Amino acid sequence: MTTERFDAAGGTVVFLEESHALPLVTITIAARSGAAHDPPGKTGLARITARLLLRGCEGADARKIEETLDGLGAEAAEETTHASVSLGAQGIVRNVDALVDLLSRILGAPTFADAEVSRLVREMDADLLEVRDDDRSLAERTLRRAIFGDHTFGRVTTRESIAKITRDDVRGFHAKHFTKKNLVIAFAGDVTADQARALAEKLVSRLPSRSE
């Protein structure tokens, strides 16, 4: 298998690894901005933004998104690293157009509802409380601070930092980093180059070319 690379409208970089062995398509959409781009004092913002993507978009709340994915025979998940925020999905090829339509709304028209923001902050606060009793996690956090100091890689998410994060912060992070120019999309599976081009254009159709 060979990997093709091309650009979609607005500067989005697209990769394709074509394979027709199974009627499945895997899609990964990554913004080239992650936890390292959290503003000072608000570590955890990138992760909160990523997790909220699947909790509501134009025309669908979290439950509707989950039900739609199930109905399409698809699954989706988000991931945050220091360098990126990504959304990955896999589905059967006959439903790929409907899957991409949903993903385009998740990417370009998330609701970031106040109730969901508050709920997620509470969930993450509970997770951080549990970390206090996890010696391995505490050691990793202490080591990171010792190695990287004030560098962005040395920042750790705290209860205090997530408590400061508001819906406006989430909307601002999304508006700044989820742009066509800042995205990379990868397709793998039962899809041709022409199909991948059209699907990529649809995925980013609701996003601005660059942040203002």
> Using one digit for the tens of pLDDT, what is the confidence trace for 18-73?
999 999 999 999 999 999 999 999 999 999 999 999 999 999 999 999 999 999 99
Tokens coding 39:
């503003």
pLDDT at 127: 87
Nearest-angstrom CA–CA distance, 78 and 46: 11
Residue 13: how many CB atoms within 10 A of its CB?
18
Q: What percent of the chain has pLDDT over 70?
A: 90
pLDDT at 104: 98
> What does the buried/exposed string (b/e) look like for 135-154 if buried means 16 or more CB atoms within 10 Å of the residue's CB?
eeeeeebeeeeeeeeeeeee
> Using one digit for the tens of pLDDT, what is the confidence trace for 194-209?
999 999 999 999 999 8
Taking the model in full, what pTM does it have?
Answer: 0.90
Whether the per-residue pLDDT at 177 is higher than 80: the answer is yes
> Using one digit for the tens of pLDDT, what is the confidence trace for 162-174?
999 999 999 999 9
Tokens coding 91:
């589905």
Q: Are 31 and 182 in contact (CB under 8 A)?
A: yes
Q: Residue 44 carries which DSSP code?
A: T
pLDDT at 141: 61
Average pLDDT of every residue of the chain? 92
pLDDT at 139: 67
Region 5-27: mean pLDDT is 96
- Write the CA distances from 7 to 10, 12, 51, 154, integer angstroms: 8, 6, 27, 34
């901005």: which residue's tokens?
33
pLDDT at 74: 98
> Using one digit for the tens of pLDDT, what is the confidence trace for 105-136?
999 999 999 999 999 999 999 988 877 766 67
pLDDT at 129: 84
Any alpha helices (H) in the chain, and if so which ranges? 45-53, 62-71, 96-108, 114-131, 135-148, 159-163, 167-177, 193-203
Whether the per-residue pLDDT at 144 is higher than 90: the answer is no
